[in-house]
Amino acid sequence: MELYLDSVDFKEIEAALSYGFVKGLTTTPTFMHRHGITDIDGAIVKLSGMVPELQVEALGETPDAIVAEADRLLGLPLEREPVFKVPISNDGVKACKRLTDKGHRVNVHLIYTLNQAYMAMEAGAAFVCPLAGRMQDQGHDAMQLFEQIVDVIDRYGYDSKVMFSSVRHAEHVRQAMLSGAHVCTMPFGVMKNLCENTLTAAGTAQFREHTALMTVRVKDVIREANPICETGETLTSAMVKMTESRLGTVTLVDAKGAVAGVFTDGDLRRKLQTGGRNILDKKLADIGFSTTPITVEADSLLNEAVKIFKSKEVDSIIVVSGKKPVGVLDVQDLIKLGLLGQEHL
């Protein structure tokens, strides 16, 4: 079943064509009106150079008028000849036959009965186009009609293709395939969601998670901020560096730059509760800090970091290269990557 886009939105058309397998574009005067297009001929010329096959309306109240409109469109500087869309009627099938005899292709549309489809096929229509959504809106069995038309084409050897149109949702696309329709034209809103499925999304996320755990290293995901204080700096200095880095941890280092400990926002709250504001100007070495920080090597795989978060139940881990701190891995970083759940907050 061939895939067509039903639109006049140029951004949508470019997005659909990027898939690489959209075979054509159907348009209607109604779409152009809704989209605010005033230069219809200019839009048709532009579209003819964008899509593999363009289907445009050739309207007229008589066969002569329909054929004359088709001839007028052919006089435009088109990149390629379009398929002419003609509503089903006695005049429509006459015009279809005349255009077909001249070597042009016609889509006879607005079909709602098998008899209408039969007349279009006899007139040589390249496409016969019932409107599924509109039929179902009126309580009719659209799928039965599509199946009947496909059966008639197969039984009697007509060259016409059945185009499934008035697509409202993904289920219509499934029904189009099951009915045997040769072409399905749909809005981009339906087309872009045809690959979506919650189970697929869950499986893909799991594959990405496991791949990251086995291939991505800690140094690849740590933030640029790396708040460091010497043990001789004040509590105020630690507060400022925590705030600037938007992290809840400051790594403490000795005179050689090696990790000596860690001071966290939790430590800050506890120290202020017990010592009051008077401790703000005291040195970190005097007020105390944890001398056994949890660390992970920068070259470690994320799998190792995840194990540490799960076993130690901490909010952050000091990332080191040898004995020197190179960053901080926050639990939020791994939650955003989908490697830890919200329960670890």
> Which is the catalytic residue, given 85, 161, 241, 271?
85
Q: Which tokens is 68 given?
A: 């004359």
Report CA Rg, the chain. 34
Query: Using CA atoms, how far apart are residues 83 and 127, in angstroms rounded to an integer?
Result: 9
Q: Are 321 and 298 in contact (CB under 8 A)?
A: yes
3-state secondary structure of 24: strand
Amino acid (one-letter) located at 269: R
In this structure, the dihedral spanned by the alpha carbons of residues 238, 239, 240 and 242, taken in order and rounded to 10 degrees, is 80
List Cβ neighbours of 176 (8 Å cut-off, separation of 6 or more). Answer: 1, 132, 146, 164, 167, 184
The span from the CA of 179 to the CA of 138, in Å, is 20
DSSP reduced 3-state for 1? coil
Among residues 53, 51, 54, which one has the least CA distance to residue 18?
Answer: 51
Rounded to 10°, the helix 90-101/63-74 angle is 40
Sheet containing 249-253: order of strands = 228-230, 249-253, 259-264
Query: Could you confirm whether 336 is annotated as catalytic?
Result: no
Of 126, 157, 133, 138, the residue nearest 146 (C-alpha): 133
Residue 319: what residue type?
V
Contact between residue 292 and residue 317 where contact means Cβ atoms under 8 Å apart:
no
Q: Catalogue the active-site residues.
A: 85
